Amino acid sequence: MKNKMIFPVIIATVIGISILGATPAHAQSTNEAPFQTLIQKIVDKFGLKKADVEAVFEEHRNDIHQEMQQRINTKLDEAVKDGAITEAQKQLIIKKQEEMRAEAEKNKGTWKNMTEEQRKAEFEKRQAEMKAWSEKNGINLDLFFGFKHKMGFVHRFMR
């Protein structure tokens, strides 16, 4: 039962990262980075240099990313130790995370120009790709990632 709880968090995190630039708040903003308005307000209110404030935001984002990655790695190590996945499957999951992050970064602005129907179609395409990947690699998303349930949960944030 414990193993069934480990992976929903991981997949939700990975998918969240991959669609970070696609949330409605981002979709409604201009081409600026998500926090540019807040950064500008801080600059104006406190008379700081914009580059300094942006650097603090970037540092914080990197710190959060590192903490999240450490939690994921710990969960994967536990899953290997418990026999829920093999070391090879763990490495495949890590590699897939990296690929998804790189794709999300590359396509950051794409989602905001899509209609709801286009986003849904793209989401379903990615869901099918993830399922095919998991089957090819012997990773049961239903058991390990809570795929069916969590994908719907993540999709609600894309609206």
- Sketch the domain layout of the chain as residue ranges: 2-156
Q: What is the pLDDT of residues 9-35, one digit of tens each?
A: 455 555 555 444 444 444 444 445 668
Could you tell me if residue 156 is left (phi over 0), alpha (psi between -120 and 50 degrees) or otherwise beta? alpha
Is the model's pTM score more than 0.85? Answer: no
Which residues 6+ apart lie within 8 Å of 86 measured at CB? 80
Q: Which residues contact 128 (CB under 8 A, 6 or more apart)?
A: none
- The pLDDT value recorded for residue 111 is 78
Q: Any idea which of 12-16, 82-86, 104-108, 123-127 has the lowest mean pLDDT?
A: 12-16
- Distance between CA atoms of residues 51 and 140, nearest Å: 45
Residues 31-49: tens digit of each pLDDT: 456 688 999 999 999 999 9
Can you read off the two tokens belonging to residue 153? 């949960």
